[in-house]
Each structure stands twice: as structure tokens, then as C-alpha cells.
Amino acid sequence: MIDTPTILLVAPTFYDVSYSINPWMDPAGWARDPAGMHGRARASFDALRQALGDSGFAVEVAEGAPGQPDMVFPANAAVVLDGRAVLARFRYPQRRGEEAPFAAIFDDLRRRGLIDSVETLPEGCYQEGAGDCIWDAQRGHFWAGYGPRSSREAAQAMSCHFGQEVVALELATEQSYHLDVCFCPLAGGEILYYPPALSEAALATLRARVPASQRIEATADDLRHFSVNAVSREEHVVMTRTTPHLRHELGRRGYRLHEVDLSPYMMSGGGAYCMTLRLDRTSAPVRRAAAA
């Protein structure tokens, strides 16, 4: 297991938007200028990689596979904690072809010592990686989304695999098809979230566990900008080009924003968090960050 903050990215060599399995996906828009869009996607990827480096991350870049355009979203590939990776099982057939190439990527990471083990879930247990199972370092538990993609029983499966508490939150809209679209634990302990994306029971659970002073409510405009889909480390937050609302709110809490134009990936329903996977997360207690 590594102790350096490390992010996995997947190169956009085979990225395109050729099908639609969530409300954000725009294959018609991509098809109007595929060569131009691919060039923009490459430039966006390079800018994201730079922003992550500027935020103190070491960056590992894996190659995707032909015909698997959404491999650029490795947050959906696995959940990693304490050096253990549990591979995803995808609900939609369009993404199931990613499972074998991602298994090969994680086996290579294991051989190189970047993770310690690679495990799988039972057949039929849909769980779409860290996008639906987000580690909250300040509280020492996972938040797990379920409904559109991951199944309710996946939360218990992840708890058994990692020996950690998993707090299940039901997602209420197809727009927020993964929890990371609408929910982001920040390094200082705050939770940035979009309330309409969660069921009433999920909102009650969140409010019981997180005090009002640490809940940051995102707007519909924030959601459209994929600004909730962010990467947080210490005072750094890497996100898509955001709204004045979030720029002000996060700035006043002491966060330093690294904004990147990720519009080519937003056309597929993804932002900064979707495009990354932390490999170094640990369950060891952390000291509260200065931005709290």
C-alpha cells in the first residue's frame, strides 16, 4: 500500500460519446464534430492532470480499451481503501466490457505495489465503484449511493469486504445516477450535496450525521456544471469550471479551487471526481484539515 496521495486516470485515447445511458449524455452533439471534440477532450484531460499535480497528487495514467469509451471514468471501476481494491460490477451492458480491462489494470497496479489486493463482488451485485461508495475520511465511514446503478445490497457487501461502516443513501433522480454527481465530502469535514438528488430518508440520514454548519447545499446550476463532482485534498478542490455561488462559498471556507474545463466529459455525464480514482485512501484517523 502506498502512502503518497495518488490518483489513477485513464487516457482518453478511445473516449467518445456514442450512446446514452444517463440524461446528460449527448451523442448527437459529439457526432457533429468528433475530431474536434476528441481534441478538446485531450486538452481537458491534460489540464485535469496538471491541476491534480498542482494539488499535490502523484498521477498514474492507464490506457483504456477500444470500444470502451467510458473507461475515462475510473471512479466507477473500483473502490480502494487500505490497499484493497474491490472491482465494480456494472448494471448497463454498455459498460460491462470495461470490467475485464479494468481487472488487468488493477492487477498491474498490484504487481507494482501500488495496491495490495484485488477482489470481486458476488455475481448480480451491482456496485459501480467509488462513484457510489465514497470514503469520508473525517467521519471514518463510506457513504454509498443506490438506486439507478448500484444495488441496495451492495452497501452491505462493501461493509463486509472492508470491515467498515457503510451508510446507504437512496438516490432519487436519474440525473444523479451515481452518488458522486450530487455528493462530495470535503477535506475539512463539510459535505457538498444537492438535496433534491436524495430521497427524504437519505436526507434525514445525512442531516442526523452531519451538522448544519458542515452541510453545503448545491444549487441546480451547480449540479449542471458538475461542480459537486469534485476532488478534495487538504485545502485544494479540483472541479469543473464552477458557479459564482460555489466559488464564493468554498472560498470563504478556505478552499483553493482549481477549475478545469471538462465540458467534453460533461457530455457523457462526468466531471473531475468521475475521471479520478484515489489509490492511497486509508481508514486510519486523519487530523482535521485547516479549512474546517
pLDDT tens string 40-85:
999 999 999 999 999 999 999 999 999 999 999 999 999 999 999 9
Give the pLDDT of residue 124: 87
Number of domains within the chain: 1
Inside any domain, residue 292: no
Q: How would DSSP label each residue in the chain?
A: ---S-EEEEE-GGG------SSTT--HHHHHTSHHHHHHHHHHHHHHHHHHHHHTT-EEEEE---TT-GGGG-GGGTEEEETTEEEE-B-SSHHHHTTHHHHHHHHHHHHHTTS-SEEE-PPTT--B-GGGSEEEETTTTEEEEEESSSS-HHHHHHHHHHHTS-EEEEEB--STT-SGGGTEEE-TTS-EEE-GGGB-HHHHHHHHHHS-GGGEEEPPHHHHHTT-SS-EEETTEEEEES--HHHHHHHHHTT-EEEEE--HHHHTTT--TTTT-EES----S--PPPTT-
Q: Decide if 178 is catalytic.
A: yes
Domain of 91 in residue numbering reads as: 6-278
pLDDT tens string 225-277:
999 999 999 999 999 999 999 999 999 999 999 999 999 999 999 999 999 99
Inside any domain, residue 239: yes
Inside any domain, residue 118: yes
- Is the model's pLDDT at 123 over the cut of 90? no
Give the pLDDT of residue 286: 74
131-158 average pLDDT score: 97
Question: 133, 182, 184, 274: which one is catalytic?
Answer: 274
Inside any domain, residue 271: yes
Inside any domain, residue 124: yes
- Is the model's pLDDT at 1 over the cut of 80? no
| pLDDT > 90 fraction of the chain, expressed in percent and rounded | 95
Inside any domain, residue 291: no
Inside any domain, residue 23: yes
Q: Decide if 125 is catalytic.
A: no
Give the pLDDT of residue 287: 63
Q: Indicate which CATH number applies to the domain containing 23.
A: 3.75.10.10
172-181 average pLDDT score: 97
pTM reported for the whole predicted model: 0.95
Inside any domain, residue 283: no
Give the pLDDT of residue 291: 39
Question: 161, 178, 225, 236: which one is catalytic?
Answer: 178
